Amino acid sequence: MIGDYTPDELALIRRAIAPAPPKPPEEVIEAMRPAPGMPVPSHMPPFWKLSDLAMPLFLRLSADPAVKAISRYAFFPQVYQRLLAGQSLPQLEFSGRARGMVGILRYDDLAIVIKPLQSSREGQIARTAGELTVGPGQLESLPGYLTEEFSPGTFFTELPQELLTDDFLAGVGSTVGTMLRRLHQADIYYNDVTFSDPRGRSHLLVEENGSCRLIDFGISMMLDRHPDLDLEEVHNFVRTLPMYRVFRGMAEDQAHVDRFLAEYAEKLAATSKSEIISRDLTFAQQGLNMAARRMGERIIAPVQEGFTQAYTALG
Ligand SMILES: Nc1ncnc2c1ncn2[C@@H]1O[C@H](COP(=O)(O)OP(=O)(O)OP(=O)(O)O)[C@@H](O)[C@H]1O
Ligand SMILES: [Mg+2]
């Protein structure tokens, strides 16, 4: 039972699961099978570090109904506190590709998202974006993970035609313009798809009343230290350049990639912040054009108008 772990045991469990450990070695996987040839219980691999240090605790976990149902998520503060308070288990579903497992946990009255950090400054960026009401509000989490509010709404590219009046579209454009401006004023370069990528995937959730949130700050950059950028930040910048994909395909080895990044770091240091940030505007325009292929060319003008007005109005 969740309430049965002592504070020391809880701390031990949390240290074992967060940040997420590397994949367990083969012999540990074998030892997790209830009997030879039987499958490994899927709720247990996240706790594998304990099988080494604290076998009795590991065995208690494997029989805990909450752990059986939602595995490591039971020990994240937002979930753990609710379980202790006697609330029933949330429904758990998974999403996400680039960053690995994105867990969506649904209660009757709220939903939260728990996802691994994708960069070392994502936590700080997501927190600022949440405070600016541009991104999902951030909640207490464990090291190596974000815990955030689930943003309701429909991805921009999936909005039903009947909602797409000129007024509605201009409103969305204006909201996105305001959101990007606020990020930029906070020295955050979003650096990702807003309206749509070539496959129609979006990071912009829109509600019927027109309110919007951007999700996923995994490759965003905080430019407060510019022109000093570390290689991770340079990598985040270049990975959204089409030429980088070509280069990665041809690169001889990691050293070759690192040399390229070091050279690119110099280029970025010599580029002004406003020039870096302006790429978000290019992405927004390109994304809008891609969205229009699915949604109809007539969406472009009203969104663009709303966007430009709002972005420039915030000066
Ligand atoms: N805060 C949130 N509110 C609502 N949905 C979310 C939230 N965070 C993530 N999701 C959902 O989970 C999916 C994956 O999240 P995210 O974009 O952060 O990870 P990813 O690995 O980059 O995934 P993808 O490659 O699908 O973009 C999103 O496309 C969205 O459907
Ligand atoms: Mg994403």
Count of C-beta atoms within a 10 Å radius of residue 188: 27
The pLDDT of residue 131 is 98
Residue nearest to atom 25 of ligand 1 (CA): 97
Ligand 1 in reach of 215 Cβ (< 6 A):
yes
pLDDT at 241: 86
**Predicted local distance difference test score (pLDDT) of residue 31:** 86
pTM score, whole prediction: 0.94
Query: What count of other Cβ atoms lies within 10 Å of the Cβ of residue 258?
Result: 13
Q: Output the tens digit of pLDDT for each of the chain's 315 residues.
A: 888 999 999 999 999 999 999 999 988 888 888 888 889 888 999 999 999 878 899 999 999 999 999 999 999 999 999 999 999 999 999 998 778 799 999 999 999 999 999 999 999 999 999 999 999 999 999 999 999 999 999 999 999 999 999 999 999 999 999 999 999 999 999 999 999 999 999 999 999 999 999 999 999 999 999 999 999 999 999 988 888 888 888 888 889 988 999 999 999 999 999 999 999 999 999 999 999 999 999 999 999 999 999 999 876
- Residue with CA nearest ligand 1 atom 23: 96
- Rounded CA separation 164/173 (Å): 12
The residue whose CA is least distant from atom 29 of ligand 1 is 96
Return the best residue to mutate from 105, 119, 156, 215 for the ligand 1 pocket (most ligand atoms within 8 A of CB).
Answer: 215
If one residue of 101, 102, 127, 207 were mutated to test the ligand 1 pocket, choosing by the most ligand atoms within 8 A of its CB, it would be 102
Structural contact between residues 281 and 311, judged by C-beta atoms closer than 8 angstroms: yes
Would you state the pLDDT for residue 6?
A: 97
∠ at Cα 291 (146, 104), nearest 5°?
Answer: 25
Q: Is 218 in the pocket of ligand 1 (CB under 6 A)?
A: yes
Cβ of 45 less than 6 Å from ligand 1: no
pLDDT of amino acid 195: 97
Span from the CA of 136 to the centroid of ligand 2 (angstroms): 14
Q: Is the CB of 146 under 6 A from ligand 1?
A: no
pLDDT in the model for residue 207: 98
Q: Give the model's pLDDT for residue 96.
A: 81
